[in-house]
Structure 1
Amino acid sequence: MENGTNPDPLARLGWDDDWARRWATFRSGHPEEHLLPARVVRVHRGACDVETPLGPQRVATPAGHLVPDPTTGDWVGLLLDDPQGVRAVGVLPRRTVLARASVTGRSAEHRLAANVDTVVVAIGAESRTTVGRVERFLALAWNSGATPVVALTKCDLLPGDELDETLARVRGDAVGVDVVPVRQDDPSTVEALRDRLRGTVILLGSSGAGKSTLANLLLGEERFAVGAVRSVDGKGRHTTVTRELVPVPGGLVLVDTPGLRSLGVGELGGALGTTFADVEDVAVDCRFSDCSHTSEPGCAVLAAIESGVFDRRRLDSLRKLEREQAWFASRTDARLAADRRREWKKLVKANRNRYS
């Protein structure tokens, strides 16, 4: 591995020609002789587990040591001949980043994974939270740059008529996205899902949505623990407690994640329009370009709701996410303004001391 570009040992972790080119560029900026590419498979506080062509390693990542901080799915460069041991010297530029708004309410985002190609949104067919929540997951997926797919899990738990109704409802929420019903007792449904996946795949969903079961079905082995769901509210416990990246037979790479009880959205940009493409496509026919879709004459969106083209809940969900976007933007602007004020005060103080 003298030239650092042989992808074979890392191919099962998603290494390809594009990463080889990125690695060559990365190496040109780091003249160390013994630099090795590695993929982050698990992140701990102050450290991360990586896979290298020479096998697994645990690498210390003190706060502020690398910019950006590594996250599950990142590719990093490892320096092998450091006197203090193997250490990461940098993170390769990311293809995609999947992130949600910080659950603390601050104007910041929390990264879930990097370099993901497909986002599988797992929705339990028997779940009481199916309606609407899928749109949030899809907005995050579209915003990351990955391709979303919805897996309707636990389909074997519903009779045929209820399953058909649930499937139709989820497909109404997941406009332009494949929705694949999956049965644990029917391998062909798992293969139908697998056919729609590519590259690095992350499983997202609420606790109890069946992500770990789905991961085991894709892997073909019982690797991830599976927990029961409470009958009182349909919620599950976090059987997965950390994000973990593992190779899947057949060329895929899988990231299993803990269930997300809170799913705030940060800056979505055009992803919101993609998620609600049905509403956006109709809105262009409104009489007024600034139509708010409330009571304006000639509103094509309200007319579409009246005629049953889509449900009013779709419009309500879009408005709710737009309000969250506005709040996030205002918080971000306020934080940036505060940062600028602090920097200015430092400059004023430094110059005052210099010239006094």
Structure 2
Amino acid sequence: MNSLLNKQQFTISQNKRNQFCRSLLETWKGLSLPTEKEESYRKFPISALNWKELGFDPKEKKTKFDDSSPSLEKDSVSDDILEGIFGLLQNYLPKDYFSYLAVLQSHEFEFHYCEDGLITPVYTSLGDEPKFLFRIFYVPKGKISQIHLKTQTLHNSESLHLQTGIDVFISDKDSQVEILDEETFDEDLVQFRTVLLLSKENTSVKYHHFPFGGFRSKLVLHSHLLGKGAEVTVDGVSALGKRNLKDLDMEMHHHADHTTSKITYKAIVTDRSHHVFTGNLIIPPNLKKVVAHQESFNLSLNKKARAEANPKLEVLAEDVSCTHGATVGDIDEEQYFYLLSRGLSPEESKSLLVTAFYGETIQSVGFKEEVKLDLESSIHNILVGGK
């Protein structure tokens, strides 16, 4: 059912939206714009951003809802489902300035009801004006779904512009979902984004992240394994060129026994780009039979490019299996000279080694072959150049 999304995408009514926003206001009052003194923003030059150029004043702390004229529209999903979702969000929405900003500044709440079948791509175009985006993707009990997000910018000016968003993926009991999250941005975009994965009992969640372009980007991914038997896998490839900075924070929070998580992320940097990856596995006391693994692989193609990996573990339980690893390096000289000795040119040798580095991640994506070929082409063009 390739057109399923068109039938199951709608905007949550203003009444429900306003009610949820009011529940966040007390916490919102206590949040302030982060600084480099905070651990999660230590590498992100937030104090150097020109907010006036971005068209946004972080001190105003305005909200985008109005109770003066209550809406009469009815939601396309039951009140019980919405109340359950908003209850989860009140508990697990990161207490982060930009996460709350995206919710409270969004003009509307998008809701995507993801039943069986392949979800057609969700296209989002961003312009020069500040954009605040809040989307909820809900996979019902026992359903199997695929979601392909494609976000791009349509930029006409020479000034910086801002995008702040939060995407929430909720997997109900016994469901399976695979998410391909693809971003293609211009070199003037400043982005703050939150991805929240909430997984109930016996769910399987696969999340693939492929960000391309941009100027400054901060991604916070929080995954909460809420029920016994939940499995979450996160992977992806960042391909960075020019002066692009990407700062990724990915956390796996285990809340139940017999849960499994894995983060495998790769970054390739060239020119003067800079990539920061911070991964954290969080397992509280008294949990049993938990398996958690994270690894970060980073490849530098230029001496002026930088890649950093910061693996963390907060494991307070004993009956668990946890591992982590990280590598940062250049192209293997022995492999490079071997390919040269076999008659390949320097450009062909470099291209082959770079492709081998990210190829396994692309092959893990369970979408059509043409989708994977497009991903490979995007990475190749940034790092090696188009043919």
Same fold (TM over 0.5): no
The TM-score bracket by the shorter chain reads: under 0.3
TM-score (norm: length of structure 1): 0.27
**TM-score, normalising length: structure 2:** 0.26
**Bigger radius of gyration, 1 or 2?**
1
Q: Which has the higher strand share?
A: 2
* Greater helix content: 1
